[in-house]
């Protein structure tokens, strides 16, 4: 999937919240790939590192895809339920997730 910022629709509320002000999004440097490239392993490689905290991760429906498809995404996934945590660790291993840190706290 192509990543990048939003396009400007001309809306500006006078508070610096223009949809094209560069806040939070696009890494488009004009090379046409929207700030991402695909590696030889088929994973997306984003130009900027992203760190995500998944507080109620369950078995990993958000954490696992993020860390199995993107190289520069680091996810700290926690779930209090010990059974969910075991499945989270299993899904981490089965999906060969990179940069997934699991916690049972």
pLDDT at residue 10 tops 80: no
43: its two tokens = 């994973």
pLDDT of residue 74: 96
The confidence score (pLDDT) of residue 86 equals 98
C-alpha closest to that of 104 among 87, 93, 96: 87
Per-residue pLDDT reduced to its tens digit, 31-88: 555 555 655 556 666 678 999 999 999 999 999 999 999 889 999 999 999 999 999 9
Provide the CB-side half-sphere exposure for 36 (13 A, CA): 20
CA–CA gap between residue 73 and residue 104 (Å, rounded)? 21
What pLDDT is attached to residue 71?
87
- Total count of residues recorded for the chain: 105
Which DSSP letter does residue 36 get? E
């Amino acid at each position: 999937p192509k990543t990048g910022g939003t396009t400007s629709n001309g809306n500006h509320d006078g508070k610096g919240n223009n949809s094209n002000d560069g806040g939070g999004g696009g890494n488009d440097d004009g090379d046409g790939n929207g700030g991402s490239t695909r590696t030889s392993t088929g994973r997306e490689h984003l130009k900027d590192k992203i760190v995500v905290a998944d507080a109620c991760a369950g078995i990993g429906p958000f954490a696992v895809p993020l860390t199995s498809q993107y190289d520069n995404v680091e996810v700290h996934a926690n779930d209090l339920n010990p059974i969910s945590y075991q499945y989270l660790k299993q899904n981490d291993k089965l999906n060969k997730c990179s940069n997934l840190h699991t916690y049972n706290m």
